Structure 1
């Protein structure tokens, strides 16, 4: 199911490194990113967090192949956080790889870099300027990369991170946790704090913003109405694999990572940021909590206000291909 290649080498494109952790919404974020004409995707790196690495790598390669982007290197993460995602969640993306269009999709295993994810990030930064790093999983790979070569921070324009919960409850429900943290921040709380302390421009898309974007039947029905477009069709299939969580006594599936990806295209009235001094707790009972800390916190741009209709309309428009 090849999709028309929308890539060209224009120097005016925004350079992006995409680091994800293989969940269904991460894969949808990759699809959305590949529909953006103004993006020059330098690399995709994978954190083995909300996924099993082999499944996430295969899915990533197949999606890149759909868009004729066999030029994009893929880096596999070798680092692990302190708090593992539940095994059932990590296995869920396996379903995506057995959907008919994915089973039939060829891919190029040679796209997998010999460099680990953090090494590939540094290789890309060494040869580029003004790079946006989009992260829809934990911050482990980027933090490790910059600890090895801190001078490369100057190459980064901003970091768009789906992580954290500031003024709303978190989504971590573990026996030793007070439910104040979001999972990406909780997986590796030390790396989360190091990211905030890095001095980089961090645009945080946390649960404060994503809570307004549940994946509900109304949205999926609109997407299904344009299923004649291959990408709308496969996106609908991907989101359908999450239907057992809609609704759920535990949580609802939201457009966590997809909203973060939209920041690369919508940074006006659609998604509004406010500067906040934030810190990250690194130990029980609130490990990974991203909390306001006016005295010792770090300057972070936090998304609070989202024009839900504008974002959904943008996603529907982009998936008409």
Structure 2
């Protein structure tokens, strides 16, 4: 199997961690770089979480530190959702692994030039680093094979404000820059190269339950199993406190899975823009389904997914990975 080079931009985060583990567990993925984004927790904590996960999983991937703040707005974080260190109740191991000597925006550019036309980008946090990378290399959209974004809410309620999804609401200016950058670079050409955007309208169908988590972790003896269980327990409790039930939405692992196999979701092309000035609607993602703006599509919006197909793949891959790690440590 030929592995696809993948560059991941994360604000790790419980579900970001699950997405990273999924990619590490996938033989068809070669994770060539990780950009740390401020979002769920401050960027210094994100860097630690990423490096510690690599230590835990026995994987070597360059990790780069991103901007400490959004491009314009002050940073807001989500420890109430992900725990004080971003990993729920889990405690990650100490590590002496070091960050790259270049920042996350530069990491995006370097990876794209190292794998022109081959690299798949996955962004599961605010789009700050990607926007800054586009400022340095406006041709970035034409260098990537594919970009998958977890963000937005399309004809659907928000999870941060009544209309805005978390990742976009943290840095709406960056999200607007990214959508504009893809519009400018492709100018109506090659719709297959438009970013795949997975909003809450899709990702909230990916519901992890304690029963599914039990199937995932089984009787594995590796410390990664305990980390996943402790992280997800906090995530379950958060969703329960919000009145959604003792469950959790795996937004970011779906993005990781779609990066490797876009056929897991059905998409519709359209033009997307981000509200930046509305008093009540800042951070809202608007899809122009009826082409009222008369602009070329700049995104492929996920509109349908088979959760059972996703979980079959996710549980199989991550379950086999934790068992492999358990065997390696004995």
TM-score by length of 1: 0.85
Contact 1:229 1:319 in 2 (8 A): no
Question: How many angstroms does 1:95 deviate by?
Answer: 6.5
| Match among 181, 185, 196 for residue 198 of structure 1 | 181
Report the Cα distance in structure 2 between the residues aligned to 1:93 and 1:125, rounded to whole angstroms.
Answer: 33
Contact 2:13 2:87 in 1 (8 A): no
Q: 1:125 to 1:191 in 2, by over 3 A?
A: same
Report the Cα distance in structure 2 between the residues aligned to 1:242 and 1:149, rounded to whole angstroms.
Answer: 37
Contact 2:15 2:253 in 1 (8 A): yes
Question: How many angstroms does 1:83 deviate by?
Answer: 5.4
Greater Cα offset, 136-145 or 189-198: 189-198
Whether 1:286 and 2:291 are equivalent positions in the alignment is no
Partner of 2:45: 55
The size of the alignment, in residue pairs, is 300
Q: Secondary structure at the match of 1:124?
A: helix
Whether 1:138 and 2:126 are equivalent positions in the alignment is yes
Whether 1:24 and 2:7 are equivalent positions in the alignment is no
Partner of 1:243: 236
Report the Cα distance in structure 1 between the residues aligned to 2:209 and 2:88, rounded to whole angstroms.
Answer: 23
Alignment of 1:258-273 (within 5 A): 258-268=253-263, 270-273=264-267
Query: Which digits, 9 at most, give the CA deviation of each residue in 1:163-182, with x for residues without a partner?
Result: 00011111113xxxxx1110
Partner of 1:84: 75
Q: 1:181 to 1:246 in 2, by over 3 A?
A: closer
Q: 1:143 to 1:86 in 2, by over 3 A?
A: closer
Q: After TM superposition, what 4+ stretches of structure 1 lie above 6 angstroms from structure 2?
A: none
Contact 1:14 1:132 in 2 (8 A): yes
Q: 1:211 to 1:152 in 2, by over 3 A?
A: closer
Whether 1:207 and 2:190 are equivalent positions in the alignment is no
Contact 2:32 2:111 in 1 (8 A): yes
Partner of 1:3: none
Question: How many angstroms does 1:292 deviate by?
Answer: 2.2
Give me the CA root mean square deviation: 2.4
Q: 1:220 to 1:13 in 2, by over 3 A?
A: closer
Partner of 1:315: 314
Report the Cα distance in structure 1 between the residues aligned to 2:22 and 2:214, rounded to whole angstroms.
Answer: 18
| Match among 279, 292, 297 for residue 295 of structure 1 | 292
TM-score by length of 2: 0.82
Contact 1:216 1:246 in 2 (8 A): no
Contact 1:164 1:182 in 2 (8 A): yes
**Unaligned runs of at least 5 residues, structure 2:** 183-192, 322-330
Larger % of helix: which? 2
Q: 1:98 to 1:168 in 2, by over 3 A?
A: closer
